[in-house]
Structure 1
Amino acid sequence: MTLRDIMLDDLPARQDQDALQQALALIWQEEGHVSKRATWSQLMGGRSNPIWQITSDDMPHDLVCKLYDAAAATPLFANDGTREALVLKYLAGMGIAPDFVGFLDSALGASVLYRHVDGVPWSGVVEGVAQLMARLHQIIPPEELPETITSPVSLIAETQAMARAIGMDLPPPPEVTTDLPQPTRRFLHGDVVPGNVVVMADGLRLIDWQCPSIGDSAADLAIFLSPAMQILYGNRPLSAEEQSAFLSAYLAAGGDAVGVARYTALAPLFHWRMACYCHWKAAHGDAAYRDVAALEQRASEQG
């Protein structure tokens, strides 16, 4: 079987992952990156895109292939394969991200290939994640990335747009100070959740780089400290003591003090926006988000 035998219209719906995987394997074989003898095993961790681990005794390392679903982007999280490929190449050798192997765009969609990160999803001790995030935020970002804006006005506007889209009766935004220091331009991962932090023998790695950007480090802090994101990605809400320990460890590791000040002031708005996002996701078919929306609303009200 060759690529000429594969017509996009002949492929089953995306639910038929076996046919999709076989077609993708042929493409990467022709590119010379994957052995014809390789075994592809679908990984269950990703919520946005199909992902496979690729193993073969004639390949030096296991690989991971991610196929991007163009429809999986959401108001808070982009799903851009070109950004992930850019960042993986940019961070090569820094011990922060997986090792890049290749990127291509085909009739099946964009896909990226990188070296498998051999470890387990993070849970528990927050200091290591704080140190990893601080390291990332100290790296000069590639200028090709888009900007993330976290002003009170922008956070409120984004939340109101999500609520309008699903016909939600949105509670009023919490009052926060507008007397904030100007944000510094930092390298943001955009989705630092427990499932995207892998614990390896030599430290932690960040995976799933499909929504990196440049902007206020408070945005990354808010995602990790979100109780909804902690639960949805296999952990539990962080206690007040753990949140304080995380921010202290982040600052001690050289993290962005301006970002911490902005997060502390804007936390009620970040939680309010995340509560609305959970309702938006539930309205689009992901019922798990409905169960955690109240946690974010409660955190917003507690300030």
Structure 2
Amino acid sequence: MSERLSDTQLLAFLRTRLPVADWSAACLRPLPVNYTSRFWRLDAVERVYVIKEFFPGNEDNPLYPTLPQQEADALNVLARHALAPDLEAFVTSPTGTPLLVYGYDPAKSDEIDVGEAADLIGRFAALKQAIPGHQTVPSGFHEVLARGDAMLATIPDSRKAANLKRLRPADTLVGQRAVERSLVHRSFCLGTILATAGGARLIDWQYAGLGDPVEDIACFVSPGLATLYGLHPLVAHAEDLFLKHYPDRDTVGRFLEERGAYHWRLAAYCLLRQETLTHSNAPAARAYGRALEEEVDLLLRLKNR
């Protein structure tokens, strides 16, 4: 990226792309930046647009590669099923970065309860329409553990990695079984659910892939993922309520058997990011360190049940 996209550049660009009837009444404001993207919100008359600029160089992440085209493809299909907001544009910005815009009619309240979240992800998991072009991700207890092993193998001198290996669930805890792959969100939490006038919608599809719906349940109850999104981890009652409302009981049953693998893999990822970002991005390294502590605490609780 040769230059930083300014608010003035962006607004001029959006005027040529979005069907806003009265630009004099529209208001553009920046939103918090995350590790892989910048965001803006454009408030127009009775319509809200969120603009997402993807940073380059995040396609090779060992667990969460950032894939802008995948997000565009998912929004394009899932909006028709009332599962995601409308894709308004997916273009190259004036500075050469991928730029994605989604739009929605705002809700009167931004609050989402866990029962509504369970219904939303359950309807998504039951969707049979294929969305082409998505990555294939580790699926099932043993593949998930193997990905965690591979990440820790890249930091062989880490004392924390040696300690984390002691919490690794044994391969023998769950038998080998085939998994019917479907599209999974992979960062599903209250931070990736949007309240709209038409109901709850899922956002942030850049990490999605073909895997096991168990992963999305594990994400929602993950204290580490919640921490990374700046949220408080779910209390036990909220987790129980979410699992009670999730419509596919077979998937809930597999989650209860296999959840340790998903939490352990996320802990391995957080440790890898903490150790590799310490010198290049200290605030991010500290955030991953806090998420790691949350996942380790959960693993210890699960082990002692």
Deviations 1:199-246 (A, max 9, x none): 345431111111222221011111111011223324322233432321
Q: Determine which of 174, 186, 189 is the counterpart of 2:185.
A: 189
Alpha-carbon distance in structure 2 between the residues aligned to 1:36 and 1:245:
44
In the other structure, the counterpart of 2:84 is 97
In the other structure, the counterpart of 2:139 is 150
Q: Partner letter of residue 287 of structure 2?
A: A
Question: How far has the Cα of 1:90 moved from its partner?
Answer: 0.6
In the other structure, the counterpart of 1:109 is 97
In the other structure, the counterpart of 2:170 is 175
In the other structure, the counterpart of 1:299 is 298
Calculate the aligned-residue CA RMSD, in Å: 2.7
Question: How far has the Cα of 1:295 moved from its partner?
Answer: 2.0
Deviations 1:3-60 (A, max 9, x none): xxxxx64x2xx4xxxx433334444444465687554211127453101112356xx6
Alpha-carbon distance in structure 2 between the residues aligned to 1:64 and 1:126:
24
Q: Determine which of 48, 54, 77 is the counterpart of 1:62.
A: 48
2:271 corresponds to 1:279: yes
Q: Partner letter of residue 21 of structure 1?
A: D
Question: How far has the Cα of 1:86 moved from its partner?
Answer: 0.9
Q: Determine which of 159, 162, 183 is the counterpart of 2:151.
A: 162
Structure 1 residue ranges, 4+ long, deviating more than 6 angstroms after superposition: none
Q: Determine which of 51, 55, 61 is the counterpart of 2:39.
A: 51
Q: Secondary structure at the match of 2:116?
A: helix
Structure 1: give runs of 5+ residues left out of the alignment.
1-7
Alpha-carbon distance in structure 1 between the residues aligned to 2:110 and 2:210:
25
Question: How far has the Cα of 1:110 moved from its partner?
Answer: 0.9
2:298 corresponds to 1:267: no
Question: How far has the Cα of 1:116 moved from its partner?
Answer: 4.2
Cα 1:226–1:108 change in 2 (3 A) is: same
In the other structure, the counterpart of 1:85 is 72
Alpha-carbon distance in structure 1 between the residues aligned to 2:144 and 2:223:
18
Alpha-carbon distance in structure 2 between the residues aligned to 1:142 and 1:69:
24
Matches within 5 A, 1:232-271: 232-251=228-247, 255=248, 257-271=249-263
Alpha-carbon distance in structure 1 between the residues aligned to 2:192 and 2:35:
11
Checking the alignment, whether the CA contact within 8 Å between 1:174 and 1:301 is kept in structure 2 is no
TM-score (norm 1): 0.81
Checking the alignment, whether the CA contact within 8 Å between 1:50 and 1:66 is kept in structure 2 is yes
In the other structure, the counterpart of 1:5 is none
Alpha-carbon distance in structure 2 between the residues aligned to 1:126 and 1:31:
36
In the other structure, the counterpart of 1:134 is 122
Checking the alignment, whether the CA contact within 8 Å between 1:70 and 1:79 is kept in structure 2 is no
Q: Partner letter of residue 160 of structure 1?
A: D
Q: Secondary structure at the match of 2:265?
A: helix
Alpha-carbon distance in structure 2 between the residues aligned to 1:233 and 1:295:
13
Q: Secondary structure at the match of 1:104?
A: strand
Structure 2: give runs of 5+ residues left out of the alignment.
none
Alpha-carbon distance in structure 2 between the residues aligned to 1:24 and 1:42:
11
Alpha-carbon distance in structure 2 between the residues aligned to 1:55 and 1:122:
19
Q: Partner letter of residue 86 of structure 2?
A: D
Alpha-carbon distance in structure 1 between the residues aligned to 2:289 and 2:58:
18
